[in-house]
C-alpha cells in the first residue's frame, strides 16, 4: 500500500483499507500529523524508522494475526519500541527482545492505552529501546543459523540409538555441518547492508559484531559433544566378523547397504481378492535379480531392498516359497514402512539368528506415537455405518456394524493392522487422517493388500520415509535408489513415486490396488501429486525379458551420476 499511483487501481481489499485510513485522517483532522507517502523506495525505509525513533515514537503492528513480524525486528534494530498484536510471531519476538507491549488487536482501548503508556512513560520507552538494541542480535542470520544448527544437533543427542554411528558417518556429519557453516558465512556476507560490516550483527550491536568464528567454535563444540557421547562402536573399524548365532561369515557388522552405490527397491506387492500374496510377485523379483546380475559391473555396485505391506514373518515365508534368500536383500522394509531389517547384519540378528528390526529406526519413528490412542480412535470412527450406508457415519439407532477387526498377526509396536471386513463401508484415508488429526493423533494410514487391510503407523514412518532414513543412516543417496512399483498399489503408492529417487512402473503385475480408498470426493486430483511424465519415471511390462528391464533401468540412470 505504501506504493501506489491511484487508489482506484489497487486491489479491492487494499483500496478499502487505505480509503478507510484516509477518511479517518479527514474525520479526526489529522492533516500534518500523519504521513502516508504515495511512493517510497526500500532504501527509504530505515530513514522512516529512524525518524520515528528520533521523535520518541512507537512502531505499531495491530495485525489480527501476524505470522512472523519482520517489521518489528526492523523497528527494534532502529531503536524504536513496539506495540504489537498478541496473535502470532510477535509473542516470540517480545519474549526475545522485551522491547514493547503486546495487545489484543480487537481491543481498541488496549491499543490506545499501550501507545499512550509507551510515549508518556519516558523510562519505559527508553528501556524498550535499549532492550531492543541489546537483544536484536538474536535475530541476525548468523545467530539464527547457530540456534537452528545447535537445536538440530541437540535432537541427535536426544536419540542415543543414533549414536551407533560408523566412522564414515562421523566424517559425513563433519562435512555436512562444515557446509552449513559455510552457508552461514555466505548468508551473513550477502546480508551486509553497508558493505563495511560483515553481517547484520555488526550493523546493530558492535559488541557482537565479528562473531563468525565464534559461531563456528560453538557449533564445533556441540559436534564434539555428540562424538564424545558416542559409543565405542564409532571407534571400531568396520570389519566383517562371524556371527555368534551361526549366521556364518556372511554376517557383517554394518549392512552392505552403506557400501552400495545403487539400491533397487522392489515394492511390487501383489495380492489376490483375499489379500494373500500372489506367486507372480516371486517371479518378478527373480526377473529383476536376473536383469541386474546380468551386468557384472552394475551387479558389483548394487544392492536390493524389498518394500512391502507384509509383516516380516509373512515376508520370509513368501521368500522361502520362492527359494529366495532373505540375504539377497540388503534391507527389508516391512509392515508398510514401520520396520526396517538388514538380513546379514550381525547387530540386527538375535542369538537364535532371528532378524530384529533396526533399533535406530524404531527410536526415530516413535516420535508422538501412541498405538492405544490410534486403536481407541479408529475403532470409534470405523465401527459404525451410516443410515445411507455412507462409510463410517455413526448410526444413532440400531447396533453398530463392524467394518474392521484388529489383525494381531500383522501388527507390531509401530503398526496397528486391521482386517477390513467390508471395504465398501471403510472411510477413506483422507477423511480418517483429518479426523485423527482433529483428535490430536498424528499418524500415517494406509489401506493395503487389495483393500483387505488398514495399517496405521507413526507419522515419521512410511515406505518412502524409510528410504530417506536409509539415506541419512547409511549414506546411500536417494537419487541412486530405483523404486520398482506396479501401476496400482496400496494407498501409499503415490508417495513412492514422487521424490528424487528413480521410479520404474511395471505394468500388468498389480491388477488391483487399494487406491479407491485414498481420496474423498472433491479432494485434489492424483495429477497434482504425481507427475504423469518425468525423466525420473520409466515404464516396463510384466514378463518383459531381463535385457529389456536392464535397458529401462539404464535409461533412467542418465539422470544421475551414471549407472
Ligand X SMILES: O=P(O)(O)OC[C@H]1O[C@](O)(CO)[C@@H](O)[C@@H]1O
Which residues bind to ligand UPG, rule: CB under 6 A? Answer: 2, 42, 45, 66-71, 74, 89
Q: DSSP character for 363?
A: H
Distances in whole angstroms, Cα of residue 108 to Cα of each of 8, 79, 103, 124: 29, 25, 9, 21
For the CA atoms of the chain, what is the radius of gyration? 30
Q: Which three cell numbers stand for residue 310?
A: 507384509
**Judged by CB under 6 A, which stretch of 58-66, 137-145, 332-340, 341-349 contacts ligand X?**
58-66
> Could you please report the per-residue DSSP string of 183-200?
HHHHHHHHT-SSSSSSSH
Q: Which is nearer to ligand X, 2 or 531 (CB)?
A: 2
Q: Which is nearer to ligand UPG, 15 or 324 (CB)?
A: 15
Query: CB–CB of 377/275 below 8 Å?
Result: no
Least separation, in Å, of the C-beta of 402 and ligand X?
47
Nearest residue to ligand UPG, scored by beta-carbon proximity: 2
Least separation, in Å, of the C-beta of 140 and ligand UPG?
15
> Could you please report the per-residue DSSP string of 66-113?
BSS-HHHHHHHHTT--EEEESSBTHHHHHHHH--EEEE-TT-HHHHHH
Instruction: Examine residue 67 and tell whether it contacts ligand X (CB under 6 A).
Output: yes
Q: φ, ψ for residue 299 (rounded to 5)?
A: -60, -40
Q: Which is nearer to ligand UPG, 103 or 553 (CB)?
A: 103
Residue 89 interacting partner from ligand UPG, ligand X, none (CB closer than 5 to 8 Å by kind): ligand UPG
Residue 2 interacting partner from ligand X, ligand UPG, none (CB closer than 5 to 8 Å by kind): ligand UPG
Q: Which is nearer to ligand UPG, 38 or 122 (CB)?
A: 38
Instruction: Examine residue 3 and tell whether it contacts ligand X (CB under 6 A).
Output: no
Residue 64 interacting partner from ligand X, ligand UPG, none (CB closer than 5 to 8 Å by kind): ligand X
The contacts found for 135-138 with CB under 8 angstroms, 24 or more apart, are 135/76, 135/96, 135/97, 135/98, 135/99, 136/73, 136/76, 136/77, 136/97, 136/204, 136/205, 137/201, 137/204, 137/205, 137/208, 138/96, 138/97
Least separation, in Å, of the C-beta of 94 and ligand X?
16
**Judged by CB under 6 A, which stretch of 59-67, 313-321, 422-430, 532-540 contacts ligand X?**
59-67
**Judged by CB under 6 A, which stretch of 44-52, 63-71, 302-310, 402-410 contacts ligand X?**
63-71
- Using CA atoms, how far apart are residues 333 and 357, in angstroms rounded to an integer? 9
Query: CB–CB of 337/461 below 8 Å?
Result: yes
Least separation, in Å, of the C-beta of 109 and ligand X?
18
Least separation, in Å, of the C-beta of 66 and ligand X?
5
Least separation, in Å, of the C-beta of 88 and ligand X?
8
Least separation, in Å, of the C-beta of 99 and ligand X?
18
Least separation, in Å, of the C-beta of 54 and ligand X?
24
- Using CA atoms, how far apart are residues 541 and 521, in angstroms rounded to an integer? 31
Residue 45 interacting partner from ligand X, ligand UPG, none (CB closer than 5 to 8 Å by kind): ligand UPG
Instruction: Examine residue 213 and tell whether it contacts ligand X (CB under 6 A).
Output: no
**Residue where the block lists cell 481491543:** 107
Query: CB–CB of 503/538 below 8 Å?
Result: yes
In the chain, the largest separation of any two C-alpha atoms, in whole Å, equals 92
Instruction: Examine residue 66 and tell whether it contacts ligand X (CB under 6 A).
Output: yes
- Using CA atoms, how far apart are residues 425 and 423, in angstroms rounded to an integer? 5
Least separation, in Å, of the C-beta of 67 and ligand X?
5
**Judged by CB under 6 A, which stretch of 62-70, 137-145, 156-164, 541-549 contacts ligand X?**
62-70
Instruction: Examine residue 63 and tell whether it contacts ligand X (CB under 6 A).
Output: yes
> Could you please report the per-residue DSSP string of 232-293?
GGGTS---B--BTTTTBTT-BSS-GGGG-SEEEEEE---B-TTSPBPTHHHHHHHHHHHHHH
Instruction: Examine residue 398 and tell whether it contacts ligand X (CB under 6 A).
Output: no
Instruction: Examine residue 233 and tell whether it contacts ligand X (CB under 6 A).
Output: no
Residue 525 interacting partner from ligand X, ligand UPG, none (CB closer than 5 to 8 Å by kind): none
Residue 500 interacting partner from ligand X, ligand UPG, none (CB closer than 5 to 8 Å by kind): none
Residue numbers of the site for ligand X (CB under 6 A)?
63-67
Amino acid at each position: 500500500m505504501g506504493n501506489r499511483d491511484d487508489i482506484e487501481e489497487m486491489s479491492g481489499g487494499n483500496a478499502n483499507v487505505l480509503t478507510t485510513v484516509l477518511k479517518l485522517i479527514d474525520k479526526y483532522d489529522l492533516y500534518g500529523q500523519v504521513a502516508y507517502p504515495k511512493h517510497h523506495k526500500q532504501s527509504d525505509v530505515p530513514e522512516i524508522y529512524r525518524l520515528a525513533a528520533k521523535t520518541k515514537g512507537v512502531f505499531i503492528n495491530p495485525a489480527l494475526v501476524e505470522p512472523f513480524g519482520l517489521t518489528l525486528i526492523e523497528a527494534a534494530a532502529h531503536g524504536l519500541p513496539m506495540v504489537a498484536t498478541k496473535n502470532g510471531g510477535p509473542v516470540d519476538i517480545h519474549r526475545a527482545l522485551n522491547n514493547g507491549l503486546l495487545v489484543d488487536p480487537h481491543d481498541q482501548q488496549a491499543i490506545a492505552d499501550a501507545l499512550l503508556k509507551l510515549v508518556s512513560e519516558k523510562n519505559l520507552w527508553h528501556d524498550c529501546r535499549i532492550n531492543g538494541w541489546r537483544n536484536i542480535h538474536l535475530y541476525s542470520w548468523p545467530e539464527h543459523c547457530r540456534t537452528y544448527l545447535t537445536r538440530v544437533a541437540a535432537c541427535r543427542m536426544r536419540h542415543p540409538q543414533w549414536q551407533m554411528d560408523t566412522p564414515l558417518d562421523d566424517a559425513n556429519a563433519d562435512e555436512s555441518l562444515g557446509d552449513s557453516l559455510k552457508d552461514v558465512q555466505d548468508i551473513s556476507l550477502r546480508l551486509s547492508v553497508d558493505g563495511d560490516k560483515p553481517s547484520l550483527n555488526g550493523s546493530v550491536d558492535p559488541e557482537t559484531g565479528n562473531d563468525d568464528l565464534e559461531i563456528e567454535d560453538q557449533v564445533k563444540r556441540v559436534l564434539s559433544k555428540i562424538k564424545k557421547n558416542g559409543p565405542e562402536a564409532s571407534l571400531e573399524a568396520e570389519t566383517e566378523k562371524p556371527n555368534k548365532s551361526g549366521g556364518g561369515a556372511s554376517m557383517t557388522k554394518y549392512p552392505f547397504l552403506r557400501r552400495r552405490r545403487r539400491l533397487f527397491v522392489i515394492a511390487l506387492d501383489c495380492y489376490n481378492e483375499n489379500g494373500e500374496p500372489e506367486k507372480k510377485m516371486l517371479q518378478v523379483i527373480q526377473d529383476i535379480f536376473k536383469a541386474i546380475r546380468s551386468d557384472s559391473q552394475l551387479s558389483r555396485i548394487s544392492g536390493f531392498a524389498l518394500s512391502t505391506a507384509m509383516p516380516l514373518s509373512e515376508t520370509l515365508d513368501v521368500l522361502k516359497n520362492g527359494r529366495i534368500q532373505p540375504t539377497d536383500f540388503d534391507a527389508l522394509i516391512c509392515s508398510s514402512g514401520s520396520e526396517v531389517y538388514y538380513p546379514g547384519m550381525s547387530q540386527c540378528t538375535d542369538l537364535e539368528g532371528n532378524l530384529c528390526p533396526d533399533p535406530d529406526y524404531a527410536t526415530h519413528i516413535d516420535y508422538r506415537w501412541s498405538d492405544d490412542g490410534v486403536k481407541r480412535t479408529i475403532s470409534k470412527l470405523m465401527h459404525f455405518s451410516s443410515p445411507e450406508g455412507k462409510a463410517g457415519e455413526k448410526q444413532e439407532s440400531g447396533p453398530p456394524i463392524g467394518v474392521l477387526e484388529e489383525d494381531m498377526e500383522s501388527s507390531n509396536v509401530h503398526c496397528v493392522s486391521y482386517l477390513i471386513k467390508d471395504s465398501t463401508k471403510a472411510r477413506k484415508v483422507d477423511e480418517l487422517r483429518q479426523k485423527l488429526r482433529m483428535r490430536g493423533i498424528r499418524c500415517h494410514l494406509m489401506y493395503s493388500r487389495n483393500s483387505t487391510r488398514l495399517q496405521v503407523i507413526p507419522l515419521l514412518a512410511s515406505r518412502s520415509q524409510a528410504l530417506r532414513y536409509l539415506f541419512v543412516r547409511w549414506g546411500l543417496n536417494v537419487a541412486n535408489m530405483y523404486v520398482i512399483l506396479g501401476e496400482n498399489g496400496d494407498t501409499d503408492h503415490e508417495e513412492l513415486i514422487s521424490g528424487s529417487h528413480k521410479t520404474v512402473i511395471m505394468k500388468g503385475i498389480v491388477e488391483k490396488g487399494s487406491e479407491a480408498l485414498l481420496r474423498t470426493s472433491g479432494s485434489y486430483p492424483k495429477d497434482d501429486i504425481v507427475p504423469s511424465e518425468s525423466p525420473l519415471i520409466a515404464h516396463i511390462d510384466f514378463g518383459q525379458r531381463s535385457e529389456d528391464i536392464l535397458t529401462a533401468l539404464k535409461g533412467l540412470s542418465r539422470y544421475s551420476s551414471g549407472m
